[in-house]
A and B are shown apart, each in its own frame.
Chain A
Amino acid sequence: MSKTTNILLSGVGGQGIILASKILATGLMNSGYDVKMSEVHGMAQRGGSVTTQVRFGEKVYSPIIGKGQADILVSFEEMETAKWMEFVKPEGTVVINTFRIPSAPILIGKADYPEGVIAEVKSNVENTQLLDAATMAKELGNVKAMNVIMVGALVKGLGLTDINWEDVIKSLVKEKFIELNVKAFNLGFNAVK
């Protein structure tokens, strides 16, 4: 296997995961890495699960990874974390946004929102970090900024500090949202070790 870093982002349609992945992939490309990004489209915008993969390194072949190969899983929704755990290396990292979006079976009372996800993830992957991005985003005045808060946290976790992320954000978001997103990025960046 080539030396490539594998990142998995998961969450729910509408949470801005595709934009988050684009910011990440563009930053990596700008700093000279080979990058491939894969996303699952289709029925996802209708409240379904969404996942993207970003792979970077000197030379990247496959745009997707197999089970047990993600170095980092960044989960934008608590319950969605569980579905992608089999893709995470046991010695990898999991970053969870402790934000809950009940799915259809939960809304109609056929199932309960699972309570033990975080504990179970922690028992499997030692390096698990929690983030309350919803509260942080509300402080910024826009709950939708959660996605860029998560990117900030991820970038810090990866140690990708020598890339000009502010320029990347400027190139990808509408002008009136630049300030909000830069703030969100920094908030996430400073929230993790």
Chain B
Amino acid sequence: MKKLMTGNEAVARGAFEAGVTFASAYPGTPSTEILENMAQYKADVYCEWAPNEKVALETAIGASIAGARSLAAMKHVGVNVAADPLFTFGYTGVTGGMVLVSADDPGCHSSQNEQDNRYYAKFAKIACIEPSDSQESLDFMKEAYKISEDFDVAVLFRMTTRTCHSKTLVEEGERVPVAMKEYVKQPGKYVAAPATAKKLHPIVEDKLVALEKFSNETPLNRVEMNDKKIGIITSGVAYQYAKEVFGDKASYLKLGFTFPLPMDKIRAFANEVETLYVIEELEPFIEEQMKVAGIDCIGKAVIPRIGELNPDIIAKAILGEDRPVVQMSEESIVGRPPTLCAGCPHRGFFYALTKKRNVMVTGDIGCYTLGAAEPLNMIDTVIDMGASISMGHGAAQAFAKNGVEKKVVSVIGDSTFFHTGVNSLMDVVYNGSNTVNVILDNRITGMTGHQENPGSGYTLMGTRAKEINIPALCAAIGVEHIQTINPLILDDVSKALDEAFAFEGPSVIITRWPCVLKKFSPEDIKEFDLAPSVCEVIDEKCRGCRVCTKTGCPAISFNKETKLASIDKTMCVGCEVCLQSCPFDAIEKVGK
């Protein structure tokens, strides 16, 4: 029976059917659901969240070398974090089959850039596979493990937001258990000291030659010959878009195995068709290699290299088709930017921070990035995970060296602190920076939909885990000024900031309160007062000053006719931040 599955569910299913027994990932949209779905197979597959992508890949490499089929999954920018082990793993090769899933995000739906990770396969000298829908996501995973073992090479399995998050019909298969290979010590293969590395490099080049031969032969790269006037070479979801536009009116070379490219097959196809197009999302990965090989084609000259493709863009670019489009007036469209949730513990911290003057706030990747949005406007920079603390250090040193008086506050979430923030904090302490480092500990990885992390006390497979004690960790690194506060009490936040500003040397403030959307653990219920309640505006006392709306809470609105604030009872969770912000005591807490 067919099922509707997202690409991510299908990748997990494919790995399960391929006999994988080890899987690790760090959550990141659009890749997160791969490991979440692997966890349903935990009887057969050990699954875990790693603190970052480098660790996820290294654990999977370890499992592979030990002899098991293994998987690591991450979003495109996560592969940047994991790039260090990846490039050397490209030299050593595998024992058990190993697949690295890279979920790219053309169009930046939820990412800080839109890099094309097929280049990582070429750069690291490993194989690249690109499925175009959920069925292929499942089937190609099984192929990927065979290729990995047959050619002694890791496989980069390139998904994109559309293949990850689209649901398409899938026929499942059975799991075929794969016996663990016997572990044999092989220092000549796995100890990548310079002497070994030098010997491994020519072996890798030979593997690539063998892989290109395979690429020309595998049905993963297939020709669909129809009308020969237009020939299209395409991969990933772009194949589906091209089929949507041209149907049977063009011929296709549909590439599922895109590194190394099947250059003989491409050349033969090019010779058969009149006009040859390359339709690929983002970079001219296929086109460039074709042109280097002397095969003429039309690619990025007409197909945009920026953003996500769709059938419409292709039809317009190649056929000049333009559809009538309904144009609405500007007045009818008001933006709906994402906001911190009603009752989000980050709001209290950021709102209290708005009262401090002459500060630079270095931010990080997570829900709290929204502290950069109106009306809080409290974040100055966001680059990558862990960067807030190290960038704050750099900024503070630059200010100090050049005689600029400015306080630097670095804000980072709990999961991001474990990810790479802790390394940055070591830099801050070791090099004696005078920055205020705020760990916004909402007891979960919030942004990606509540994954457990080393601070939450549970594992991906649901077992109780040792909770990392953040204050003790900071103290062990050498931070001498550490405060743990409830971010919903504005006076406490303000006092903690004053103390940290006055302290000479690196300081840490931990704001500890659970994410309002998370499923509370028994430990949360024990530790925090989470009794449901709501806040209410007393109309007689409200003077319409709008201070409460400056907290940016989506439950509070200002009525222009009555000139009064009001609170939406269905959204409010009674966090009391607005109550504390009101200069006229016009908000009070009532039971729910």
Contacts and interface: CB of A to CB of B under 8 A. Distances in A.
A80 to B, nearest CB: 7
Q: How large is the interface on A (under 10, 10 to 19, 20 to 34, 35 or more residues)?
A: 35 or more
A2 B245 CA distance: 8
A139 B552 CA distance: 32
B186 interface: no
Nearest to A48: B338
Interface stretch (B42-50, B279-287, B297-305, B307-315): B307-315
A86 B325 contact: yes
Given A67-B325, A108-B549, A45 B449 contact: yes
A107 B4 contact: no
Contacts of B167: 22, 25, 35-39, 63
A46 B517 CA distance: 10
B374 A104 contact: yes
Interface in A21-49: 22, 25-26, 29, 34-49
A157 interface: no
Contacts of B67: none
A114 B244 contact: no
Nearest to B163: A63
Given A35-B169, A46-B341, A47-B339, A79 B326 contact: no
Interface stretch (A117-125, A145-153, A158-166, A181-189): A117-125
Given A43-B110, A68-B323, A86-B326, 7 more contacts: A25-B167, A46-B340, A49-B336, A61-B244, A103-B334, A103-B337, A121-B328
Contact of A66 (B311, B339, B447, B552): B311
Contacts of B169: 29, 34-35
B400 to A, nearest CB: 36
B358 interface: no
Nearest to A91: B324
Interface string A126-160: 00000000000000000100000000000000000
Contacts of B333: 79, 82-83, 114
26 contacts: A1-B247, A26-B4, A35-B167, A38-B162, A42-B30, A42-B110, A43-B110, A46-B340, A46-B341, A46-B367, A60-B168, A62-B243, A66-B313, A68-B312, A79-B332, A79-B336, A80-B336, A86-B325, A86-B328, A90-B326, A104-B339, A104-B374, A109-B546, A109-B549, A110-B374, A120-B332
Contacts of B340: 46
B373 to A, nearest CB: 8
A113 B336 CA distance: 11
A2 B247 contact: yes
B162 A108 contact: no
B329 interface: yes
Given A82-B333, A104-B339, A63 B557 contact: no
- Looking at A38, A85, A90, A104, the one whose CB has the most chain B CB atoms below 10 A away is A104
Interface in B113-165: 133, 162, 165
Contacts of B570: 143
B370 interface: yes
Contacts of A44: 338
B196 interface: no
Contacts of A39: 165-167
B327 interface: yes
Q: Which 7 pairs from chain A and chain B are nearest by CB?
A: A66-B312, A42-B110, A68-B323, A63-B166, A103-B336, A48-B338, A62-B244
A120 to B, nearest CB: 5
A47 B166 contact: no
A191 interface: no
Given A37-B4, A47-B341, A67-B325, A106 B550 contact: no
B170 to A, nearest CB: 11
Nearest to A118: B332
Given A39-B165, A42-B29, A64-B162, A114 B334 contact: yes
Contact of A38 (B110, B165, B315): B165
A108 B326 contact: no
Given A41-B29, A68-B323, A103 B335 contact: yes
A160 B65 CA distance: 54
A125 B326 contact: yes
Contacts of A13: 338
A5 interface: no
B336 A108 contact: no
B177 interface: no
A116 B338 contact: no
A44 B449 CA distance: 11
Contact of B324 (A90, A103, A114): A90
Contact of B240 (A12, A63, A85, A88): A63
A16 interface: no
A107 B325 contact: no
Interface string B4-33: 100000000000000000000000011000
Contacts of A62: 237, 240-241, 243-244, 310-311
A61 B241 contact: yes
Nearest to B333: A82
A111 interface: yes
B331 interface: yes
Contacts of A112: 334, 560
Contacts of A61: 240-241, 243-244, 311
A111 B335 CA distance: 9
B556 A107 contact: yes
A165 to B, nearest CB: 16
Nearest to B448: A42
B323 A47 contact: no
Contacts of A79: 332-334, 336
A45 B373 CA distance: 16
